[in-house]
Amino acid sequence: MTSTIDVKKKQDLKKWLEMPYNNRELSWLDFNARVLEEAFEKENPIMERCNFLSITASNLDEFFMVRVAGVLDNIHRGTNKPDPSGLTPKMQMKRISEKVHAFAEKQYNCYNRSIIPSLRANGINFVKADEMTDEQKAFADDYFQRVVFPVLTPMAVDTSRPFPLLANKSLNIAVLLTNAEGEEFYALVQVPSILPRFLELPAKGKRDFITLERIITIHLGELFELYNIKQSAAFRITRDSDLDIDEDTEDLMEEIKKSIKKRQRGVPVRLEFSKKCHKSIRKFLVDALHVTEDEIYVQHGPLDLTFLSKFARIKGCEKFCFEPITPVNPPAEFYDCDDIFEAIREKDRLVHHPYESFDVVVDFVKKAAKDPNVLAIKQTLYRVSGNSPIVAALIKAAENGKQVTVLVELKARFDEENNIQWATKLEKAGCHVIYGLTGLKTHCKICLVVRKDEDGIRRYLHMGTGNYNDSTARFYTDIGMFTCREEYGLDASSLFNTLTGYSLPPEYNKFIVAPQGMRPFFEEMIRKEIENAKQGLPASITAKVNSLVDPAIISLLYEASQAGVKIELIVRGICCLIPGLKGWSENIKVISIVGQLLEHSRIFKFENNGNPLYYLGSADWMQRNLDRRVELVFPVEDEDIKNRVEQILKVTLKDTVNARKQLPDTTYHLVDKRGRKRLNSQKHFSKLAQQAQNAVKKQTYVRTVGTPIVPAKEGEKAE
């Protein structure tokens, strides 16, 4: 018997298939293409262009390991169900393959025709073997003998020694050998990832570099002394790395540890060759790895361009990088505040990272750890840095006798090992550690400090749009808000009780929490704007998210556009909604900001008949955020903070440097600058943060020192 839920799902799918919807995977590839444009952009410093190219390679690795692997898995399962764009898994894979092959060609065009000539013009070179001077050859020979040779393990492949298991994303060299009788043999040499990928060679008046695989290739004869080297070629495998975790297990940590080990043995989903790969080597690898022709990528340059991120930060090349955006420390909101708790009691406080230092968040936890009046700290951790000061402060708090509860999300993709290590350390220090909820990832960003003040127990909160990660906080744009409002504190306690115990999801006072309450909330807010527009009342929606994928939200936004609601969307990455389509989305504008910093904050504004409502939080408009994660969105109620959030949206929408507008054909073009002032929103926010701090400094000076001396005008006496 068909259930009511199943019928609704079929009705929804039919409705979604009829509306304009850009395939998620293809939209993501368009986002990566926007990053690649920054690598081509000659106005960007050359080392930053190297870094952008590296980012496209790193992004593509993860795309294959997770998204492509998922599509292939659906094909192998025989799934033929179309997505909301109307594409079946086989159709998606065909489009993905075509698009990625074309994209890879553009990557290496960028490297060979744009990056390398620009580096050379600035006295920086990657040299080939036949370009090395005698001094450089001697230097490279010495490096190989001292450093590289002891680490290498040449592996023969024959009837007694089968093809070895090669690690995911490892760079290898395949070698075709012949003996004295002319018989052919194959061998493999893994390029050790533990060593730097490039070596600087001695040079006068310039800087010369050589890649590690090129050094190894030059010296292959020393690894196979009894054979002749007929051919060699670098190659690289990308494997299916999406973890399959049994969350019903009694020990989730052990289950994840097992799954991490399986990641290295995942099925190959991409095989990359260097351009000069001999056809015999190619056949040998294809047969051994069981890859299809569509999964093969022939690259016209060094494989694994992610090494360019480290190359872009070599010493002595700072002038070829962006002028750094230096965080203001302390932010204006906390300038001259000796007691952070007193400052939060006075009013809600907002910090805008990285323009304002993340140190204030770290200090909040550090001071709570030391404060004798603090009774408990509760915090969620999704991704933290390798040497996290937040975790160190939580450990210190436990050692100081505080009640410390930490929810460490072990299922944070590609951070599982790091989070397991931190969870173990926190447990050893006496913290109560929770690993998350079965079937859900805990992605909300919240820290609750329970403190005994003179007038009773008070709850202090930090809530944000980004992770408690001091490292990424230097180049991710995020927003954090501090408050001790009673209703927010009650909601925070309820949220943690739900996460750590068996409490039913409560009726929150202020919080909007997924998976139970967030989808209904956003749908209701959009519908209210639709009703207001139909009644001729002020109606608009502005949202800043990383991704917009959810078909139900997109369907409602189309409905809102048709009702006359003005909609402005700032979507950094995937956007399955298509703006500017007649009869569907004429009132919708979509821009994407790709620049020096990675846009990460989530902001939602609803016009509400001229009384705008503002919300911040951790969730994007994706099914996983609304239905399969614990997410938190919270309202902004302080008028000063509302003004700041409005300013952030307005400035971002006016960007003429980093912004690209999505057109009805789903392509993105730099916004039209004609008649508009040049505005780099990220640089502008940095200036605003500095100006705000300077203004507070002046106020503090006047308050503490007295009225400053006013310089006398010509012909007058000084006061």
Give the pairing of strands 403-408 and 374-381: parallel
Q: How many Cα neighbours within 13 Å face the side chain of 484? A: 19
- The helix-helix angle for 89-109 and 69-76 (nearest 10°) equals 150
Q: Which residue stretches of 607-657 are H helix?
A: 623-627, 639-653
Nearest to 422 by CA among 393, 386, 456, 454: 386
Nearest to 171 by CA among 303, 311, 309, 300: 303
DSSP assignment of 402-442 equals -EEEEEE-TTSTT-HHHHHHHHHHHHHTT-EEE---TT-EE
Are the C-beta atoms of residues 481 and 464 closer than 8 Å to each other? yes
Amino acid identity, position 334: F
Which token pair is 171? 């760079």
Q: Which of 352, 353, 443, 600 is catalytic?
A: 443
SS3 457: strand
Q: Give CA–CA dist 574/695, Å, rounded.
A: 39
Are the C-beta atoms of residues 430 and 376 closer than 8 Å to each other? no
CA of 119: how far to CAs of 52, 56, 122, 125, 207, in Å?
Answer: 15, 19, 5, 6, 10
Q: How many residues in the chain?
A: 719
State the residue for tokens 């990566």: 32
Q: Which residue stretches of 19-68 are H helix?
A: 24-40, 46-62
Going across the sheet that includes 198-201, the strands are 124-126, 207-211, 198-201
443 is catalytic: yes
The values of phi and psi at residue 575, to 5°, are -140, 105
- Beta carbons within 8 Å of 366's beta carbon, 6+ residues apart: 389, 393, 396
The values of phi and psi at residue 524, to 5°, are -65, -45
Q: What is the dihedral of CA 194, 198, 202, 206, to 10 degrees?
A: -150
- For the annotated catalytic residues, the residue numbers are 443
